[in-house]
Amino acid sequence: MKRVLLLLLVSALLLPLATWAQAAEARLVPFRQGNRWGYADRRGRLVLPAHYDEAGPFADELAWVRMGNLYGYIDGSGSPVTPVQYTRAGIFRNNQATVELNGDTFAIDPAGRRLSPAEAFEATDEDPLEQGDVVRGPDGKVGFRFTVGAARVPAIYDEIKDNYNGLLLVRQGPKWGVLDNRGRLVQPVQYDSVRRGGSPLLPAVRRNGRWGYLGPEGRRLIEPRYLRAAPFFGGVARVQAPSGAFGYIDTEGREFWEDTEPASTK
């Protein structure tokens, strides 16, 4: 009975993370055709025509778009929410986005109204509960003791980071690997770096100068092939393809771009 209650407690602690990942997934994905950008549905079908110079991910049905050197915001139907007037524009988080206009940086609400300093706040990511404690050996190496269960990681690593999703990121010398929540190696110590920013479910990994992503259980989800890889947001991530062009991929590794210009509507 105690074991069942413990499993239910662990599930409850992990549920908010899984719920966040699902709720944050956007309906539309930025889609590049040649040098122009529009938006496609999750099947890759173009929904909003590619007539922007750049497009950002949707957050709560709002996204920034760039025309020339200036930015504005649109809603999920492609209708403008603000004029294209900002020199910088951020993603909406917690019903606000940071913009720059005429050298002045401030926050706006989803209707495009400027927020007063009293209304605006700095959004911060809360750290989920840790899985256990780092333990140190007499030679300065580190291991790990899990809070739940009897699993222990021997003190053979130079650094350990808790990924907060049942995984541990471990470093030996200059290379990183991944352990599961039983201390078993699921990714060999082979990566040049591991980045936890954005969704903790999908860390970015770099090997031989190329970036890819690991899936929720530490198995490789997307093979390292990209020159750059941003954190996932809203179920998509901005990457730089081997060709040098930028585009977005989803959590299945599908690429949302075509290296051809959209047909002229003139």
Q: Is residue 202 part of a domain?
A: yes
Q: What is the mean pLDDT of residues 135-153?
A: 86
- % of the chain surpassing 70 pLDDT: 81
CA angle 57, 231, 241 (to 5 degrees): 80
Statement to judge: residues 45 and 148 lie in one domain: no
189: containing domain:
132-257
The per-residue pLDDT for range 3-32, each reduced to its tens digit, is 333 333 333 333 333 333 333 588 999 999
User: CA-CA distance, 245 to 249, in Å (whole number)?
Assistant: 13
Kindly state whether residues 192 and 244 are assigned to the same domain: yes
Confidence band (pLDDT; 50, 70, 90) for 111? very high
Q: Which two tokens stand for residue 151?
A: 């699993």
28 belongs to a structural domain: no
H helix or E strand, kind and range, residue 75 = strand 70-75
Instruction: Please tell me whether residue 247 adopts helix, strand or coil conformation.
Output: strand
Q: Is residue 239 part of a domain?
A: yes
Residue 263 belongs to a domain:
no
Q: Other C-beta atoms within 10 Å of 36: how many?
A: 16
Predicted confidence (pLDDT) per residue in 221-249, tens digit:
899 999 999 988 888 999 999 999 999 99
Are residue 69 and residue 52 in the same domain, yes or no?
yes
Q: pLDDT tens digit string along 71-93?
A: 999 999 999 999 999 999 999 98
- Does residue 161 fall inside a structural domain? yes
Together in a domain, 58 and 171: no
pLDDT of amino acid 211: 97
Integer CA distances (angstroms), 56 to 101, 108, 187, 192, 215, in order: 18, 17, 32, 28, 23
Residue that is last in its domain, among 124, 152, 181: 124
- Write down which residue in 124, 151, 167 finishes a domain: 124
Listed as own residue / partner, the contacts of 16-21 with beta carbons closer than 8 Å and 24 or more positions apart are 16/128, 17/128, 17/164, 17/165, 17/200, 17/201, 21/199, 21/201, 21/235
Beta strands in 102-219, from DSSP E residues, in sequence order: 104-108, 132-136, 142-146, 152-157, 159-162, 168-172, 175-179, 185-191, 193-195, 204-207, 210-214
| The pLDDT value given to residue 87 | 96
Contact 131, 146 (CB under 8 A): yes
Based on the fold, state whether residues 92 and 136 are members of the same structural domain: no
Count: domains in the chain: 2
Residue 165, pLDDT > 80, answer: no
Identity of the amino acid at 223: E
- Say if 148 falls within a structural domain: yes
pLDDT at res. 119: 78
Same-domain status, 98 and 145: no
pLDDT, tens only, 175-200? 999 998 888 999 999 999 988 665 66
- Is 210 inside any structural domain? yes
Statement to judge: residues 141 and 102 lie in one domain: no
pLDDT value of residue 28: 96
* Bridge partners, residue 187, by sequence: 178
Does 144 share its domain with 216? Answer: yes
Give the per-residue pLDDT at 14: 36
CATH number at residue 113: 2.40.10
Residue where one domain finishes, among candidates 101, 124, 147: 124
Here the tokens at position 204 are: 């970015």
| CATH assignment at residue 170 | 2.40.128
User: Does residue 141 share a domain with residue 99?
Assistant: no
Residue at 23 is within a domain: no
Q: What is the pTM of this model?
A: 0.78
